[in-house]
Structure 1
Amino acid sequence: MKKHVKGNVSWVGYIDWELESFHGDDYSIINGSSQNAYLIQEEKTVLVDTVWLPHRFDFVENLKKEIDLKDIDFIVANHGECDHSGSLTAIMDEIPDTPIYCTANAVKSIEGQYGKRGWDFHVVKTGDSIDIGNGKKLIFVEMKMLHWPDSMATFMTGDNILFSNDAFGQHYAVEELFNDKADQCILNREAMKYFANILNPFAPLITKKLSEIAGFGLNIEMIAPSHGAIWREDPLQIVNKYSAWADAYQEDQVTIAYDTMWEGTAKIAHRIADEIHRQSPDTVVKVFNIARSDKNEVMTEIFKSKAIAVGSPTVGGSYLSSVAGWLEFLKQLKFKNKKAAAFGCYGWGGGSVKHLREALDLAGFQVIEEKIESNWNPEESDFEGLEALVKDLL
């Protein structure tokens, strides 16, 4: 169903209420999501992006109810990832000669995924534009590594809409379409989760790109991303949040993440949490069992934190496999300006704390010297360094 966005622009995407995971099973979906595609009907009719492959036939049939597909003058492909390009094959089967405007890398991505089909690609770069009539035009802005090399945004003059693709989006199903109609707590949480788990590795590039966009002097009145709510009320609020989030963001929070075999490491985790509260009652403390907790939710909390403590018992001279995979993801996210401590239990021989410290250092954390390492179940003597550990973390 077509939904009015602004002027002669409509939303023609797909609300995905049942979606539970994304990027395979690597990203958890809790509040549904959407794949946002847009239809511009000025003197030129333009389709901006499409939807994911599983919904391609619904997408094309719904679009046919709104317009004659042959009236589409060209398609803008802001990003070649399949959640945005998945319906291209179905729609191009209907209108095979329709031009597609995208970056050079997007041509590689689209042809790499769907094969070389002889489509009429028009390669664009930052600053290129195309007239769509009625005194309006589309201006293209490359958004390299936000979050793929092929990404770009498209600005529509006149209505002053920035079609930002994956930048400024959220995995959040909003039937009402706009940010002012959404649950604000969920909206802000999902926007931060998206940034922390997908975009944070590219934070330095985001800072530069935001400065570049500001330098264009674009009068942005609406930001229309490819997932989640459209920002129409104070749209630059999300740009300002990205600017803050990209600058080694932290709040007064400490997150403790661990896995345990026979509850010894869990006991240490809880004692660290108690001591943080004792020393700094206003500091927010979060505790998660790595094996039982949603890793994307945990990483969002770590993104907010100024420090973390990570624990595991020793297994085979190292840490648990659940912790190993989690630490690899932590390293990929490239968090900055955060302290870390390690803790754990061991039986016949230690090793987990040493390897945890090494892994946290590789992940870019400032690892403090104090640690807690208990032989068998922790006793009070094992907590003699607890006060100093927490003091260093805070």
Structure 2
Amino acid sequence: MKRLVKNNVNWVGKVDWELRKFHGDEFSTNSGSTYNSYLIQEEKTVLIDTVWLPFAEEFVDNLASEIDLEDIDLIVVNHGEVDHSGALMKLMDRIPDTPIYCTTNAVKSLKGQYHRDWNLNVVKTGDSIDIGNGKSLVFVEMRMLHWPDSMATYMTGDNILFSNDAFGQHYACDSLFNDTADQCTLYNEAIKYYANILTPFSKLLKNKLDEIIGMNLDIDIIATSHGVIWRDDPMQIVRKYMEWCDDYSENQITVIYDTMWEGTKRVAEKIVEGIAMEDGEVTVKLFNIAKTDDNDLATEIFKSKAIAIGSPTVSNSILRSLVGFIHYLKELKFKGKKAAAFGCYGWSGESPKVLAEMLNDAGFEIVGENLRINWNMTTEAEAEAIEYGRQFVKNLGASNENS
């Protein structure tokens, strides 16, 4: 069922209410998602992107109930990833000669995934196609946001930016538009999407945003590939991206731990207590990584100016939950964030040192000394952990003064 976006532009995508994992098992989608495809019917009929492969047959059947598929003059593929291009094979079986417009790298990804000899036409930034009624499609390459083949498409006249993955969210929302969506969920899913998918490309994104702003495009609508369409003050999400791509942090400290017999948990709780005692204005959050969604936790770290991570010592090292998670943080390439390491141990006590080395390798600046607590906490050890939390806050201030 198509739904009106503006004038002769309709949404023809799919709302996936049940999706809970994406990119294999890498990304949690607790609010579901959408796969947004758009149909433009000016003098030329244009389809922008399709939907994920599991919904290919449904998508093509629905599209065929709205228009004669032979009337589609061209297809724009903004990004070749299967959640956007998955229905192409089913569609192209019906209209095999229809020209497809995409970037050079998208030719590689489409041929590599589908092994079909389609009518692929390469476009680059600034290229345009006249679609009639005084309107054109203008293409803007968005390389590495978040694949090398990505681009955005701008429609003149209606002033719509079909932004692909940029500015999106994994958010199943039947209301379709940002002004009719739940604002809290929308913001939370938008920042989670940025933190976990786009953070590694923040520098590239900043340059691309500057380039788009420099093109002086009038943008009335940002039509994303996932989640809601931005029609009410659409530039609000662009402004957020400008904040998020500039070594973003809030006045937040996040404390993370895993534990075997509750010892490291108690240390973490006392560190949190000390942080709160030292700074009554900072937001401090505590998470057991074994009981927390990794992507939600990465979002909290994205918002944080500093983190403290703790593990008991096991096999002269740390618990494997933290090994994998810190490796993930390294992939995200967070900038300008500080860290500390702590742990409870019985025998050898290497975990804080291992944690500190891994955090440093992941790009975090280690401040202060590591905290090691032997066996179960005594009253003196509790006081030591509280003081460690207080000192951590002081170290952050000292580090900021020296930087």
**TM-score, length-normalised on structure 2?**
0.96
What SS does structure 1 have at the residue aligned with 2:202? Answer: helix
CA displacement, residues 247-295 of structure 1 (integer Å, 9 cap, x when unaligned):
0001110001110001110011111111111111121111111111001
What SS does structure 1 have at the residue aligned with 2:218? Answer: coil
**Preserved CA contact (<8 Å) 2:146 2:198:** yes
CA RMSD across the alignment: 0.9
Asked if residue 46 in structure 1 is aligned to residue 49 in structure 2, the reply is no
Task: Name 2:91's counterpart in structure 1.
Answer: 91
375-384 vs 281-290, greater mean Cα deviation: 375-384
Task: Name 1:265's counterpart in structure 2.
Answer: 264
Task: Name 1:224's counterpart in structure 2.
Answer: 223
Pairing 1:121-140 to 2, within 5 Å after superposition: 121-140=120-139
Letter in 2 for 1:297: D
In structure 1, distance between residues paired with 2:371 and 2:336 = 23
Alpha-carbon distance, 1:134 to partner: 0.3
In structure 2, distance between residues paired with 1:240 and 1:80 = 27
281-290 vs 57-66, greater mean Cα deviation: 281-290
Letter in 1 for 2:259: T
In structure 2, distance between residues paired with 1:273 and 1:341 = 13
378-387 vs 186-195, greater mean Cα deviation: 378-387
Task: Name 1:152's counterpart in structure 2.
Answer: 151
What SS does structure 2 have at the residue aligned with 1:291? Answer: helix
**Preserved CA contact (<8 Å) 2:353 2:370:** no
Task: Name 2:400's counterpart in structure 1.
Answer: none
Task: Name 2:235's counterpart in structure 1.
Answer: 236
Pairing 1:363-382 to 2, within 5 Å after superposition: 363-382=362-381
Alpha-carbon distance, 1:370 to partner: 2.2
CA displacement, residues 298-348 of structure 1 (integer Å, 9 cap, x when unaligned):
111111111100010111111101111111111111111111000001112
Pairing 1:99-114 to 2, within 5 Å after superposition: 99-114=99-114
Letter in 1 for 2:80: G
In structure 1, distance between residues paired with 2:212 and 2:350 = 49
**Preserved CA contact (<8 Å) 2:50 2:84:** yes
Task: Name 2:393's counterpart in structure 1.
Answer: 390
Percent of matched pairs sharing the same residue: 63
Letter in 1 for 2:157: G
Structure 1 regions of 5+ residues with no counterpart? none
**Preserved CA contact (<8 Å) 2:275 2:392:** no
Task: Name 1:171's counterpart in structure 2.
Answer: 170
Task: Name 1:15's counterpart in structure 2.
Answer: 15
Asked if residue 250 in structure 1 is aligned to residue 249 in structure 2, the reply is yes
**Preserved CA contact (<8 Å) 1:200 1:333:** yes
List, as ranges, runs of 4+ consecutive aligned residues in structure 1 with deviation greater than 6 Å. Answer: none
Pairing 1:164-313 to 2, within 5 Å after superposition: 164-313=163-312
**Preserved CA contact (<8 Å) 2:50 2:85:** yes
The change in CA–CA distance for 1:390 and 1:263 in structure 2 (over 3 A counts) is farther
**Preserved CA contact (<8 Å) 2:111 2:117:** no
What SS does structure 2 have at the residue aligned with 1:356? Answer: helix
**Preserved CA contact (<8 Å) 1:309 1:341:** yes
**Preserved CA contact (<8 Å) 2:255 2:285:** yes
Structure 2 regions of 5+ residues with no counterpart? 398-403
**Preserved CA contact (<8 Å) 1:144 1:151:** yes
**Preserved CA contact (<8 Å) 1:80 1:109:** yes
**Preserved CA contact (<8 Å) 1:3 1:11:** yes
What SS does structure 1 have at the residue aligned with 2:325? Answer: helix
The number of aligned residues is 393
